Chain A
Amino acid sequence: MSLLRITDLTVGFDTDDGLVQAVKGISLELAEGEILALCGESGCGKSVTAMSVPRLLPPETTRLSGSIELDGRELTELPESQLRRIRGKDVSVVFQEPMTSLNPSFTVGYQIAEVLRRHEGLSRRAARDRAVELLELVGIPLPARRVKEYPHQLSGGMRQRVMIAIAVACSPRVLIADEPTTALDVTIQAGVLDVFRDLRDRLGTAVILITHDLGVVADIADRAVVMYAGRAVEQAPVDELFARPRHPYTLGLMRALPSAAVNGRLAEIPGLVPSPLSDPDECAFHARCPRAQADCVLKRPELVRQADEHLAACFHPGGPS
């Protein structure tokens, strides 16, 4: 049985321009110890999908439907008070911005200890000791000294490691990492990814890794879901996805990688993402798609099995051309 099962999740936001649909019926599963990458460009709904799990979206304006089950327990119907027992304990989050995601007014030790005292009921002293161990676990040198320091005294990479220490403090079942390496130098990126791998191996933590960086996906993920305009367009084990991408959008993303550049020029995907305000019954990618044909605008392609464990939502799927 899968650890996390999201079924037909739809998330919209009330805005002055009307209801904006960010996620339009996505389903995915996450097994224990699995690293699942959610990829796609900005605004494709990958962060919103992941943040729906611990319900960290503004409650006044968010319209959510569908099902999110953690260990068979339905999260969407839980009251806020019970969700708070899950946040930081069973499901924790590493945010994208390491420079601003820590509170500048508290020591990093306090900020780590806080989550331990909340969920594990540790005493102040025990939590402080555990915070030092966690800093060591995420690879921060001189943890006994760093624990007393404030975020502004640490570099971006170290702050991101502190964020990870907070997120893994209570040995979560699911760790959501939202672009955890985007703001970091390449050399530090690799170190942070190693921390995730290490946690998965040691604690069996399942990771949802949100990224637009296919290099990161190839490096660490077991399976990937490619999202476009609020829907999953392709889903496959990473090796299979990179070997035989089926959806033209996935192909476009791969061609836009610097390593795939032809004559020093990156291949771009022409056109723009469709407006999230309207959602006609057609393939959302057709206007930008090199393989688009007449049937692409008649009906929206469903996610269908292309090969074992490989799903794509396209009427004209194929390998690299």
Chain B
Amino acid sequence: MVWFILRRAGSAVIVLFLASVLIFLGIRALPGDPAVVMAGEDASPSLIEAIRRDYGLDKPLPAQYVDYLGQTLSGNLGRSTQDQLPVAGILAERLPVTLELSALALLVAIVVGVGAGIVAAVRRDRLPDYVATGFGLAGLSIPHFWLGLLGILLFAVTLRWLPASGYVPFTQDPGQNLQRMILPALVLGTGFAAILMRQTRSAMLGALSADYVRTARSKGLAEVKVVGAHALRNSLTTVVTVLGLQLGALISGAVVTEQIFVIPGFGKLTVDAVLTRNYPVIQAVVLITVIGYVLVNLLVDIAYAFLNPRIRLSGSGHD
């Protein structure tokens, strides 16, 4: 198991290295000379040359890459072209907001999606199944922005239960923070929950008709144990796969949701940076997103191994 994790972590590092090369080259491939942009219009060639030297832009590309990598690893992601603040500082401020939103949305998705999926499978072709699949279809079809606006209209404008938008840091006032995050998290989690529900349902239907479930019943085990341990354990591989694949969609969903609810998170930062052509910020945002994806995939792989002994034990010199 330890070897398995180390091997996976090793390949994750390689992926990150390749991604950093691509990001580096991608920025360099953009039209325009950064030194000219920084020096401003009508700058003298000697000034441009000086800037180029100062920023190491006169060195060959491999040397520039080594500089970039060294700086990135030491936490220096450059400065925002908008306000000259360090990008690392901006990220440290914005990232936790999005992580909280995503974590809450994920919680909603897992609790509602997996729970409803199990119930739908166990009560197949009966009322709970129809209700769950009906809501699943609706959750899948309704876009975030519309659901968000509808939510604001109902809970903030009509019922006045929740504030319409804005953000309060958790460290400042946890109650206020959750009050403002609950609606965005529900909106962001709904589509995800619908997908998880459908996948959990079909995986559970397969597992429930498996021979080993019949064996479990023949042992006289309670139905809770048959469904919750024997069937669910074998369905979780599917659930984890969907979870891993859909976390990417969660990031793009967060961009839209943060726009609607005016939450100063990573998604809003990305949109603003693109609109103002803030290259250092875009570069950092892309890098962080890549790291996020790689980490999620690493966690999914480890979860697979944890759930499936056939993966865990392969290559351990056994069987």
Contacts and interface: CB of A to CB of B under 8 A. Distances in A.
A103 B233 CA distance: 9
A299 interface: no
Contacts of A101: 211-212, 214-215
Interface stretch (A14-22, A112-120, A205-213): A112-120
Nearest to B310: A152
A103 B221 contact: no
B216 A103 contact: yes
A57 B233 CA distance: 23
B309 A84 contact: no
Interface stretch (A92-100, A232-240, A290-298, A306-314): A92-100
Given A87-B220, A103-B233, A118-B221, A153 B313 contact: yes
Nearest to A87: B220
B66 interface: no
B310 A103 contact: no
A119 B220 contact: yes
Contact of A166 (B217, B219, B234, B318): B219
Interface residues of B, number: 22
Nearest to B318: A153
A262 B217 CA distance: 45
Contacts of B230: 103, 106
Contact of A56 (B218, B221, B222, B310): B218
A95 B216 CA distance: 11
B218 A88 contact: yes
A166 B307 CA distance: 23
B122 to A, nearest CB: 12
Interface in B270-319: 307-310, 313, 318-319
A86 interface: yes
Nearest to A100: B211
Contacts of B211: 95, 97, 100-101
A315 interface: no
Contact of A102 (B212, B218, B310): B212
A101 B211 CA distance: 5
Interface in B225-245: 230, 233-234
Contacts of A163: 215
Interface string A239-257: 0000000000000000000
A84 B218 CA distance: 8
A84 B211 CA distance: 18
Interface in B158-212: 210-212
Contacts of B212: 100-104
B309 A150 contact: yes
Contacts of B215: 93, 95, 101-103, 163, 166
B310 to A, nearest CB: 5
B308 A105 contact: yes
B233 A106 contact: yes
Contact of B217 (A87, A104, A106): A87
Contacts of A86: 220
6 contacts: A93-B218, A95-B214, A101-B211, A103-B233, A103-B234, A153-B313
Interface of B: 210-212, 214-222, 230, 233-234, 307-310, 313, 318-319
Given A88-B220, A100-B211, A101-B215, 10 more contacts: A56-B218, A87-B217, A88-B219, A95-B215, A101-B212, A103-B212, A103-B230, A103-B233, A105-B234, A118-B221
Interface of A: 54, 56, 83-89, 92-93, 95, 97, 100-107, 114-115, 118-119, 150, 152-153, 163, 166
